Amino acid sequence: MATPHSPLQSEACPIVQVIDRVAGKWAVSILIAATKAPVRYTELERNIPGISRRMLTLTLRNLERDGLLVRTVYPTVPPKVEYTATDSARELYRHLVGLTEWAERHQPDIIQARIAYDREHATAA
Amino acid sequence: MATPHSPLQSEACPIVQVIDRVAGKWAVSILIAATKAPVRYTELERNIPGISRRMLTLTLRNLERDGLLVRTVYPTVPPKVEYTATDSARELYRHLVGLTEWAERHQPDIIQARIAYDREHATAA
DNA sequence: CTGGATCCTCATCGATACTG
DNA sequence: CAGTATCGATGAGGATCCAG
């Protein structure tokens, strides 16, 4: 960490804020999509399995509010809205990629660890 | 995250799994503490402001289950339990540091963005 | 097509009390 | 010291309907 002090002061730790901001898989999914190319509302709805309209809208608003997405409205007859990742978001995305790579590397380990743990702590059947 | 058990087979993209695993400030706070040095239960309870016993235990169990923490019990008369970060967790921590730095760099921007957004979308004055 | 507003459910979390 | 068990409050999130 840039500031190796205040080890356990979670409130002051910026990473907590990032986690909170990105908390919920929806934000990340949207961010990933929008970083690759400007995306439309319906496009996101189709490409993110299981997301509800409500959460899509809510998450989009939050990301927009935090300056991670830019919302562009084209006043055409069928309304068209595009969401574009800002530079800030693209930079964040690079770090998320770091996490992705970690996840990919350790996914098998985690799965194994869970299996082992569950077997160990199995509810006597 | 506080779910007692995450599904063993997650079909989601790896980054979503990381986010889910680390979602909630407690996991990160604990991870940070345990990465720096082995920590005891009460030590965590004292140093993580606002955490409840329930969440502390739950989060510890999940991290342990995923192979990110190792739980060591010393069968002494006053029981002593130490939680130690695994290599896997330490590697994850390095990536979390990347996120931290991003957060520190962009925190002012985000705050500004929110202020601007809120002013723009103020409930019709 | 893009969302805002509403209702309602259920999971999550905090507080408390109890135990090895 | 290091937890577990239980209960109640809170709010995130899904479903639905309506509007620009």
DSSP B49: T
pTM for this structure?
0.86
**Domain coordinates in residue numbering, chain A:** 7-124
Instruction: Please report which helix (H) or strand (E) contains residue B112, including its range.
Output: helix B87-120
B82, HSE (Cβ side, Cα atoms, 13 Å)? 12
Distance of alpha carbon B53 from alpha carbon B59, whole angstroms: 10
A13, pLDDT greater than 70: no
Question: For B54 and D7, how far is CA from C1' in angstroms?
Answer: 13
Name residues 79-118 of chain A within 8 A of B (Cβ): 88, 91-92, 95-96, 98-100, 102-104, 106-107, 109-115, 117-118
Dump pLDDT digits (tens) for B25-63: 799 899 999 999 999 999 999 999 899 999 999 999 999
Distance of alpha carbon A108 from alpha carbon B17, whole angstroms: 12
Dump pLDDT digits (tens) for A45-102: 999 989 999 999 999 999 999 999 999 999 999 999 999 999 999 999 999 888 888 9
Contacts of residue B96 in chain A, CB cutoff 8 Å?
Answer: 15, 99
Instruction: List alpha helices for chain A, DSSP H.
Output: 14-22, 25-36, 41-47, 53-65, 87-120
What is the fold of A7-124? Arc Repressor Mutant, subunit A (1.10.10)
Token pair of B56 as six digits:
């502390």
